[in-house]
Amino acid sequence: MKKTAVPSKAVVTREEKVRSLLAKVMPSPTVLNSYSDDEKIKMIEERFTEILEILGLDLSDDSMNRTPHRIAKMYVKELFSGLDAANFPKMTVIENKMRYDQMIVVQDIDVISCCEHHFQTIQGAATVAYIPDKKVIGLSKINRVVEYFARRPQVQERLTKQIADCLQLVLETEHVAVHINAKHFCVIARGIQDANSSTITSDLRGDFKHRTDTRKEFLLHCRNHI
């Protein structure tokens, strides 16, 4: 009897998995393009040269002649690296063999982002918590998730929800909480020029939202001092 060939399963690449995950996270206002990092750096460098010349700066000066390139490289490789799905951190999760069912909290995670309205710095700290079900995540990965979504033009409200969305999907638990306390340099350096105020946002889900004792316990961990 002739055997029927069994079709092989399609191999899903890491890039495809990441894009599928990110498609379920609250999106940033972006459009796709096909530029490589090198092409982006070259194009941004050319345009920043024009901007600095319009401002009347002398780019032949040895202190400034590399400034357009420095800015372009910083934008693509550092400040806005979170716009590239290829930079999404590897998510190391393990089976919750310990059957741990209490709150796990990571406090005072550095937040460095950029206000999308004025391209000024957002600086602060995040406290992130979850109650595991079947999975537990490597602790440093929580920091890396915060960093990934912070490294793009942002508003703090969206950043808070993106972190919560991502962790809820990766951990497959509804019990996730994110709290951010940050200073915005678009408030400090321009406009009202208030260096003292900070902005607090939070996204509480599952027991963190609906159970008063869990909510209180988490918020006690969120007394950050910037």
The tokens of 68 are what? 């357009």
Within this chain, do residues 65 and 131 fall inside the same structural domain, yes or no?
A: no
Q: Would you call 214 exposed, middle or buried from its count of C-beta atoms within 10 A (0-12, 13-18, 19+)?
A: buried
Q: Tell me, what CATH number does 191's domain have?
A: 3.30.1130.10
117 in active site: yes
Work out how many domains the chain is built from and give that number.
Answer: 2
Is residue 115 among the annotated active site residues? yes
Two tokens at 166? 């991502």
For residue 128, being part of any structural domain is answered with yes
Same-domain pairing of 124 and 209: yes
Active site residue 184: yes
Same domain, 177 and 200: yes
Q: Which two tokens stand for residue 84?
A: 């590239």
The whole-number pLDDT of residue 12 equals: 84
Q: Chain-wide mean pLDDT for the chain? A: 95
Write out pLDDT tens, residues 166-185.
999 999 999 999 999 999 99
Segment 119-156, tens digit of pLDDT: 999 999 999 999 999 999 999 999 999 999 999 999 99
The DSSP secondary-structure symbol of 222 reads: T
Q: Which of 69, 107, 115, 221 is catalytic?
A: 115
pLDDT band at 223 (very low <50, low <70, confident <90, very high): confident
Domain that holds residue 108: 91-220
Q: Are residues 46 and 99 in the same domain?
A: no
Distance CA 104, CA 24 (A): 24
Domain boundary among 49, 79, 109: 79
Catalytic residue among 107, 120, 123, 186: 186
In angstroms, rounded to a whole number, what is the distance separating the alpha carbons of residues 159 and 226? 18
What gap in Å lies between CA 139 and CA 33, rounded to an integer? 33
Q: How far apart are CA 156 and CA 122, in angstroms?
A: 8
Position 55 in a domain = yes
Which of 46, 50, 117, 210 is an active site residue? Answer: 117
* Residues 72 and 151 both lie in one domain: no
* Whole-number Å distance between alpha carbons of 151 and 121: 11
Catalytic residue among 45, 114, 147, 156: 156
Task: Tally Cβ neighbours within 10 Å of residue 188.
Answer: 17
**Quick one: 149 and 206 in the same domain?**
yes
142 and 194 share one domain: yes
Same domain, 140 and 196: yes
Catalytic residue among 69, 116, 217, 221: 116
Q: What is the DSSP string of 101-135?
A: -S-EEEEEEEEEEEETTT--EEEEEEEEEE--SSE
Strand, coil or helix: 154: strand
Catalytic status, residue 69:
no
Residues 100 and 71 placed together within one structural domain of the fold: no
Q: Which amino acid is located at 150 in the chain?
A: A
Q: 69, 107, 118, 174: which is the annotated catalytic residue?
A: 118
Q: Which of 162, 168, 179, 184 is catalytic?
A: 184
Q: Report the pLDDT value the prediction gives residue 224, as an integer from 0 to 100.
A: 53
What is the token pair recorded at 8?
Answer: 């092989």
